[in-house]
């Protein structure tokens, strides 16, 4: 795993794209602080950049570093969630501008997968994590369902867990700083 993490970091530091196993489905990833890398993800997915992407962090400390104010309810949701849960926060900071939604929010998940946590901790920056498919196509639930165009479009493919069946996409909940809670995806 150490060698895989090192290879990913080399690609991420150069603004490249990785294809990697996450705590949900296989993800397309890049440095979430690099706007050119984020643009490459939008281009590969053929997705409008007005449709925001998810960002992964390694822990609560990194979350707090990239959100102006984490509502207390977020910690309760993360502690009680029975599956990976992405939370949309108001007023993100320290990430690429083209990663932030037009309403000044950002979807962030604290990764629960061991590989992801180690990678993000070692990289010391959040990663973009979006499903490894073209926009509008079904989300691949296994590595072998990922299209050839996606495989060719990334700079590095992680060789771990390629025969595992991944889970489902995460739940998504929007938490406003005003206390509003909205379930986007269960």
- Cα 82 from Cα 103, distance rounded (Å): 28
- The mean pLDDT value for 61-82 works out to 94
- In the predicted structure, residue 169 carries a pLDDT above the cut 90: no
Instruction: Give me the mean pLDDT over the 82-109 stretch.
Output: 94
Confidence of residue 151 (pLDDT cuts 50, 70, 90): very high
pLDDT of residue 182: 85
The CATH number for 126's domain is: 3.90.870.10
- Which residues, in sequence order, are CB contacts of 76 under 8 Å at separation 6+? none
Angle at 37 between CA 148 and CA 124, to 5 degrees: 110
| Residue 109 pLDDT > 90 | yes
Does residue 52 have a pLDDT over 90? Answer: no
User: How are strands ordered across the β-sheet holding 171-175?
Assistant: 156-157, 18-21, 26-29, 127-131, 54-57, 105-110, 85-90, 171-175, 181-185
Lowest mean pLDDT: which of 11-20, 31-40, 117-126, 157-166? 157-166
Contact 100, 92 (CB under 8 A): yes
Which residues constitute the domain of residue 39? Answer: 2-185
39-53, 72-86, 130-144, 156-170: range with lowest mean pLDDT:
156-170
pLDDT score recorded for residue 89:
96
Distance between CA 118 and CA 5 in Å, rounded? Answer: 8
For residue 67, give the DSSP letter.
B
Residue-level pLDDT at 108: 97
* Secondary structure (DSSP) of 141-169: SBGGGS-HHHHHHSSEE--TTTTSB---P
Question: For the chain, what is the radius of gyration of the CA atoms?
Answer: 15
pLDDT at 168: 78
Band (176; pLDDT cuts 50, 70, 90): confident
Q: What is the number of domains present in the chain? A: 1
Q: What is the pLDDT of residue 170?
A: 86
With a pLDDT cut of 70, the percent of the chain lying above it is: 98
- What pLDDT is stored for residue 165 in this prediction? 66
Pair of tokens at residue 179? 């206390």
Asked whether the predicted pLDDT for residue 101 surpasses 90, the reply is yes
DSSP of 15-40, one letter per residue? Answer: T--EEEE-SSSEEEE-BTT-HHHHHH
């Amino acid at each position: 795993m150490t060698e895989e993490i090192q290879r990913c970091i080399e690609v991420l530091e150069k603004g490249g794209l990785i294809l990697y196993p996450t705590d949900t489905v296989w993800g397309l990833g890049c440095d979430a602080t690099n706007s050119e890398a984020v643009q490459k993800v939008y281009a590969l997915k053929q997705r409008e950049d007005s449709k925001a992407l998810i960002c992964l962090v390694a822990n609560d400390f990194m979350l707090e570093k990239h959100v102006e104010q984490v509502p207390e309810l977020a910690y309760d949701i993360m502690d009680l969630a029975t599956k990976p849960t992405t939370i949309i926060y108001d007023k993100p900071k320290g990430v690429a501008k083209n990663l932030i939604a037009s309403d000044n929010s950002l979807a962030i998940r604290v990764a629960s997968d061991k590989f992801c946590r180690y990678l993000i901790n070692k990289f010391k920056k959040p990663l973009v994590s979006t499903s490894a498919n073209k926009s509008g196509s079904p989300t691949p639930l296994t590595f072998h369902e990922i299209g050839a165009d996606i495989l060719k479009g990334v700079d590095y493919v992680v060789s771990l867990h390629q025969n595992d069946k991944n889970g489902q996409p995460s739940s998504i909940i929007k938490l406003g700083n005003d206390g509003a809670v909205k379930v986007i995806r269960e």
